[in-house]
Amino acid sequence: MADVKSVFTVLAVVSAAGLVGACRSSREPAQAPLTVRVDSGSVRGIVKGGSRQFLGIPYAEPPTGALRWTLPRKPRPWSGVRAAGRPGNDCPQGTAGTQGSRPSGEDCLYVNVTTPRENHGGLPVMVWWHGGGFTQGSGREYDAVRLATEGKAVVVTVNYRLGIFGYLGLPGLPGSGDFGFADQISALQWARRNASAFGGDPRNITVFGQSAGGMSVCALLTSPAAKGLISKAIVSSGSCRVRWPAGGLFPGAPADRPYVPLAQGQSDGLAAAKELGCGGEKALACLRRKPVADLLPHSESFADHLAYGTDLLPRDPAVALGAGAFTNVPVIVGGTRDEARAFVGGALKYDSKLITSETYPRLLRRAFGSSAGKVAARYPLSRFPSAGLAWAAVLTDESWACSTLAGARDLAARTTVYSYEFADENAPNVNGLRIPGLPQGAAHASDLPYLFDLGGRDLLVTRDRKELARTMVGYWSAFARSGDPNHRGAPSWRPGTAPLSLAPGAIRTVDAAAEHNCGFWETTTR
């Protein structure tokens, strides 16, 4: 954007000639207001670069006190103009005292809205659900200035309840196991009601998310609540089909998947209540009296614990997807080429002896039982520089890539699907893992800096990566606008289940099923 003084000088000269209106219409759109009115009251945002940002807008009442573990309610109206220059609290996560200077608390149901600075109307609306295993993360981490300004979109990033606060189940408790999911849907409804205030089109909403956020988006497609609420979806590193064998998320951990039947969610909730000294008929009242610090140590028990068999999620999303029981909207679906290196790296950082040439056979036996020898022959240690890379290749292929491709096939049988695989082997090391013998490559979450400035920082320092980021922003925003990601100057992206590989200077369609041995895994049992 031009220097401010230069702009005023030009306007003064043109005004004297009586041409201000013509200049604005032909060269520079009018700037949009920083004070807008949403359905609960007025908010005043801030300018950042070429964007407007409205941060920390409540989309629901604080789920505190008697509202802890209740379904979200519309926020209470306020009078005057509410300052919207700072994000709201992160939802409680981690363990007590681990969030440093970042404010957190149960009063955390806020959205952040980023739009172009210019006064546009009818922009596509993109609502982002963050990842973090359903136990960590917040909307504040994802600065959407580039996506909003380059993509000409209204981007909404969402906080939702996490861990025990978001996914506790108890018999007879309305909303059991789905409070975080209900928050996400409530934020979508808020975006629909208020899109016009920010220059967005309420009839053109795309929901997109990564990891736990992607798994939530996939679940939404099978939820009755999705009908008429969204027009498009983007699922990143989070297929409805994803599942992990024993040890797949961490050596020694049981087999897992993101969704659990309601009965299991309620049983786990009762077990947590008992451990907290809240057994019996008054368990809920007792739990609501517990301080956050007492509850947080139990949050990890509710990771990957989104409940089905409920009003919001009647069926197991994987089963519903396979049966074609999902909202028929265009979908982008994909992941990263080396997903599991992040999880294997985390395990090795914790204890370098967990994954070695000696433990590799035991990991395979625990994960795949009688098929372990078959897997070892397909992924022999001799093929890999380290046991960590071998185990990461097994998990990437079996748990992530082939599950994602299977989910894409389910979707493509009934709707338009665009598949991708992020494949920049030198992507920013967003997970901060530096493990000898285990380069992170295109690990889980390494694609995020290409869409967002994480923590407000642009992590892309080379020209070719910045160019890839512009292309990806173009794909994502074009898809949000029209349901087709193709845009001028970018390599063609054909619909279907053959992924478009996204790497600097090497965007092309690939046979990911062959690269990840999916034919082998279809014949291999755990």
* pLDDT of res. 120: 79
Helices then strands, each counted (H, E), the chain: 18, 18
3-class SS of residue 175:
coil
CA distance 91 to 104: 6
Q: What is the torsion angle, in degrees rounded to the nearest 10, for the CA atoms of residue 84, residue 116, residue 195 and residue 448?
A: -80
Could you tell me which residue, 500 or 102, shows the higher pLDDT? 500
Q: How far from chain centre, in Å, is Cα 502?
A: 19
Could you tell me which residue, 13 or 273, shows the higher pLDDT? 273
Residues 6+ apart with CB under 8 A from 77: 40, 41
* pLDDT of res. 119: 76
**Segments of 72-153 assigned E as strands:** 81-83, 110-116, 123-129, 142-143
Instruction: Say if residue 11's pLDDT is above 70.
Output: no
Instruction: Say if residue 2's pLDDT is above 80.
Output: no
Query: 253-310, pLDDT tens digit by residue?
Result: 999 999 999 999 999 999 999 999 998 889 999 999 999 999 999 999 999 999 999 9
Q: Are strands 200-210 and 232-236 parallel, antiparallel or unpaired?
A: parallel
> For the residues 486-509, what does the mean pLDDT come to?
97
CA distance 59 to 72: 9
Task: Of 302, 130, 308, give the one whose Cα is nearest residue 219.
Answer: 308
* pLDDT of res. 418: 98
CA distance 25 to 12: 16
Low-confidence winner among 28-42, 106-120, 209-223, 380-394 (lowest mean pLDDT): 28-42
Query: 147-191, pLDDT tens digit by residue?
Result: 999 999 999 999 999 999 999 999 999 999 999 999 999 999 999
Q: How many other CB atoms are there within 10 angstroms of residue 30's CB atom?
A: 10
Query: 394-426, pLDDT tens digit by residue?
Result: 999 999 999 999 999 999 999 999 999 999 999
* pLDDT of res. 99: 52
Query: 40-56, pLDDT tens digit by residue?
Result: 999 999 999 999 999 99
CA distance 111 to 115: 13
- Residues carrying an active site annotation: 211, 339, 444
Residue percentage of the chain with pLDDT more than 70: 93
Q: What is the torsion angle, in degrees rounded to the nearest 10, for the CA atoms of residue 252, residue 256, residue 261 and residue 265?
A: 40
> For the residues 200-226, what does the mean pLDDT come to?
97
Q: How far from chain centre, in Å, is Cα 112?
A: 15
In this prediction, residue 7 has a pLDDT band, given cuts at 50, 70 and 90, of: very low
CA distance 504 to 343: 24
* pLDDT of res. 103: 82
Helix (H) or strand (E) run with residue 51 in it: strand 51-58
Query: 68-113, pLDDT tens digit by residue?
Result: 999 999 999 999 999 999 999 999 998 654 455 578 999 999 999 9
> For the residues 21-49, what does the mean pLDDT come to?
79
305 close to 263: Cβ distance less than 8 angstroms: no
In this prediction, residue 29 has a pLDDT band, given cuts at 50, 70 and 90, of: low
* pLDDT of res. 526: 86
CA distance 338 to 408: 18
**Segments of 73-192 assigned E as strands:** 81-83, 110-116, 123-129, 142-143, 154-158
Q: In what order do the strands lie in the sheet containing 46-48?
A: 46-48, 51-58, 110-116, 154-158, 123-129, 200-210, 232-236, 331-336, 417-422, 496-502, 508-509
CA distance 130 to 125: 16
Q: What is the torsion angle, in degrees rounded to the nearest 10, for the CA atoms of residue 406, residue 412, residue 418 and residue 424?
A: 10
